[in-house]
Amino acid sequence: MNGSPGNQQVEQQLMLIGGDWVAARSGETLTVENPGRRQIIATVPRGSAIDVDLAVDRALAAFSSWRKTAPRERGRLLLSIASEIEAQHERLSRKIAEETGNALRTQARPEVKIAADIFRYFGGLASELKGETLPLSHDLLSFTQREPLGVVAAVIPWNAPFLLAAVKIAPALCAGNTMVMKTAEDAPLAVLALAKICAQFLPPGTLNMLSGTGLECGAPLLNHPLVAKLSFTGSTAVGRIVMEAAAKRILPVSLELGGKSPSIVFPDADDDWVIEGVVAAMRFTRQSQSCTAGSRLFIHRKLYDSVLEKLVEATSRLKVGDPLAEESDVGAIINERQFRKVCGYIEDGMKQSGSKLLTGGMPGDDASLAGGYYLKPTIFSQGTNDWRLAREEIFGPVLVAIPWDDEDEVIKMANDSHFGLAAYVWTHDIGKALRTARDIEAGWVQINQGGGQLPGHSYGGYKQSGLGREFSLAAMLDSFTQTKNVTINLTR
Ligand code: NAD
């Protein structure tokens, strides 16, 4: 990804520091590829520690006045950003599809829409940054107030970059913090475009947007002595490193990490909408490059064969192809490294004793798909929960279907994972549904639906899927403010 691609059509992007659009101090760049066509489409600055220093300096300078800006006014600016995102909806959606390989119609357009909703949601909540009065005694007035933390260092991945940037920027800024964010190497363009929109409305330095690699730009940002909070979305492996950086300085940290989420079909759930829901939960239309993909499918033995038959039929109707084409339901895997990694899991599944490949598999000889990193939705049946494919996060379109007989047994299998991000439950039986939701070890459980997060959901992981919450008012207060108690003796 380094160096110059030597292609005249390639757009050259800059980073946002202190209201200015700048190159990396080193002058170096990274290239960005369209994974659906394997073409280089842009260069971005290869930011490093010296750029991080400047960005944190500018964010700190902006903090002193941004924190004093009336919350209602901060909210008003976020609402203006929401309207501008909506005005640029199609342009931004195309950018996302181009750089991530996510299909324009099924993924990129909805992603931009929900990101605008996120800015609107938090913009409307600015006046809710309030504290409490505490009845300690007749002669004591005691109250709490919510205060911003300072400069938030934020690092995001590539799989839904625009939305993942929005769920950090909007609440952090609403609460009066300023921010330095590092975009993901593979998908910085739409987030830089978001920064451009934000910069139209926000005072310089309030939001700074860097591009660069994890080691050269992300690590110095997370270890910078003047940042007051770390907010990270990405893999559990890097999440551990982020937590170590936080531990060194006792910093508050939010981690949104990996998942291996169960999707549990009960014996009464013999409906077509369940099949649609399982497909949605597995995020097949995002090549399953989703932390919340319901990638362990537990089907009651009574329905096992019929559900799988319908599921194979439903996934075979999904059209895999160029992310920018209107007819594509499923786009391309983000890059060659990830493509090879997912192929490795498919090979492993094919070698697994007892496994049965029902659909998909290794890339075939379809000439129309030869130009990009395309894989078809892949389903293995007769799985067990101890398969490597059922334990590790594949982050690709590989589903393992596991039969079950007994409710306690399926809950035990569902919880037998070091992850605990999401879970999906499919049944008409309210008792079973609510018992399962109660007993499942996951931060986000959906019953009879498989869609994504909505503004207002309290979203985040149990176990090694993360720490802290995003998407909600409670999350904004917990993740991006600190509480001060003031107690006054009224007799003095
Ligand atoms: P990743 O952890 O490799 O990278 C994420 C970000 O961290 C990138 O910007 C990268 O440059 C940066 N980074 C890498 N090493 C770093 C270091 N040593 N110091 C500082 N920054 C560093 O993850 P990825 O492959 O980009 O994304 C996929 C992962 O993200 C999956 O595990 C997925 O489950 C997870 N994810 C979680 C959520 C959630 O909400 N829980 C959402 C989306 C993705």
Residue with tokens 């730009």: 217
Give helix 71-87 / helix 161-174 axis angle, nearest 10°: 160
- Domain assignment present for residue 441? The answer is yes
- Domain assignment present for residue 134? The answer is yes
Q: For the residues 296-323, what does the mean pLDDT come to?
A: 98
DSSP label of 319: P
Q: Tell me, yes or no, whether 217 and 105 share the same domain.
A: yes
- Domain assignment present for residue 277? The answer is yes
Amino acid at 147: E
- CATH code of the domain containing 439: 3.40.309.10
The residue segments making up the domain with residue 435 are 262-455
The Å distance, Cα 237 to ligand 1 centre, comes to: 8
Give the three-state DSSP class for 69. coil
Q: Specify the DSSP element, H or E, that contains 42.
A: strand 39-45
Q: Tell me, yes or no, whether 319 and 363 share the same domain.
A: yes
Best of 30, 100, 235 for a ligand 1 pocket test (most atoms within 8 Å of beta carbon)? 235
For this structure, is 291 an active site residue? yes
Q: Tell me, yes or no, whether 329 and 207 share the same domain.
A: no
Residue 320 — pLDDT band, cuts 50, 70, 90? very high
In short, whether 396's Cβ falls inside 6 Å of ligand 1 is no
For this structure, is 326 an active site residue? no
Give the C-alpha separation, 139 to 150, whole Å.
34
- Domain assignment present for residue 5? The answer is no
Q: Tell me, yes or no, whether 241 and 267 share the same domain.
A: no
- CATH code of the domain containing 75: 3.40.605.10
Nearest of 283, 183, 180 to residue 234 by alpha carbon? 183
Instruction: Please give the structure tokens belonging to residue 371.
Output: 């130009």
Q: Tell me, yes or no, whether 206 and 327 share the same domain.
A: no
- Given the CA of residue 245, which atom of ligand 1 is nearest to it? 19
Other residues' Cβ atoms within 10 Å of the Cβ of residue 271: 13
- Domain assignment present for residue 175? The answer is yes
Instruction: Please give the structure tokens belonging to residue 2.
Output: 């380094």
The predicted model scores a pTM of 0.97
Say how many domains are in the chain. 2
- Domain assignment present for residue 30? The answer is yes
Give the C-alpha separation, 403 to 117, whole Å.
39
CA–CA distances in Å: residue 372 to residues 75, 209, 308, 335: 42, 29, 28, 9
Q: Tell me, yes or no, whether 411 and 368 share the same domain.
A: yes
- Domain assignment present for residue 39? The answer is yes
| pLDDT tens by residue, 125-157 | 999 999 999 999 999 999 999 999 999 999 999
Q: For the residues 95-111, what does the mean pLDDT come to?
A: 98
Q: Tell me, yes or no, whether 221 and 340 share the same domain.
A: no
Are the beta carbons of 268 and 303 closer than 8 angstroms?
no
User: Quick one: pLDDT at residue 9?
Assistant: 80
Best of 238, 251, 256, 469 for a ligand 1 pocket test (most atoms within 8 Å of beta carbon)? 238
Amino acid at 243: M
- Given the CA of residue 160, which atom of ligand 1 is nearest to it? 43
Q: Tell me, yes or no, whether 209 and 266 share the same domain.
A: no
- Domain assignment present for residue 492? The answer is no
How large a percentage of the chain has pLDDT more than 70? 98
